[in-house]
Amino acid sequence: EVQLVESGGGLVQPGGSLRLSCVASGFTFSTYSMNWVRQAPGKGLEWVSYINGGSGSIYYADSVKGRFTISRDNAKNSLYLQMNSLRDEDTAVYYCARLGQWPNKFDYWGQGSLVTVSS
């Protein structure tokens, strides 16, 4: 069974940093591209970042470019999102999502990790 479990969320002050993790199981992690997608409270989904299996292709939404860094450790079946210079508008539930088929099948999602940016 495919499982994605996020962790690392919490309360952080504006300008602060946080690192999210997503541990994958039930599939060969290294052969799948992964994404982070977020959802602000009461709002819609927003794609944040993409990384392919070998970390050779990495993309970001304009809203986080230069502040967030996606990475992965295939030996640990783990995906990460380093978030720096956090802003109030980064407050959201962050989901990791597997890209099951290029370019558009986000086929498995974690349950999300809440990040709250507030003073």
Q: Would you tell me which residues interact with other proteins (CB under 8 A)?
A: 35, 37, 44-47, 50, 59, 61-62, 95, 97, 100-101, 103-107, 109-112
- Burial class of residue 18 (count of CB atoms within 10 Å of its CB; 0-12, 13-18, 19+): buried
Q: What is the greatest pairwise CA distance in the chain? A: 40
Minimum distance, C-beta of residue 103 to other proteins, in the bound complex (Å): 4
Minimum distance, C-beta of residue 13 to other proteins, in the bound complex (Å): 27
Give whichever of 17 and 87 is closer to other proteins, judged by the CB atom. Answer: 87
Q: Where do the DSSP E strands lie in 14-112?
A: 18-25, 33-39, 45-51, 58-60, 68-73, 78-83, 92-101, 105-109
Minimum distance, C-beta of residue 35 to other proteins, in the bound complex (Å): 8
Give whichever of 104 and 119 is closer to other proteins, judged by the CB atom. Answer: 104
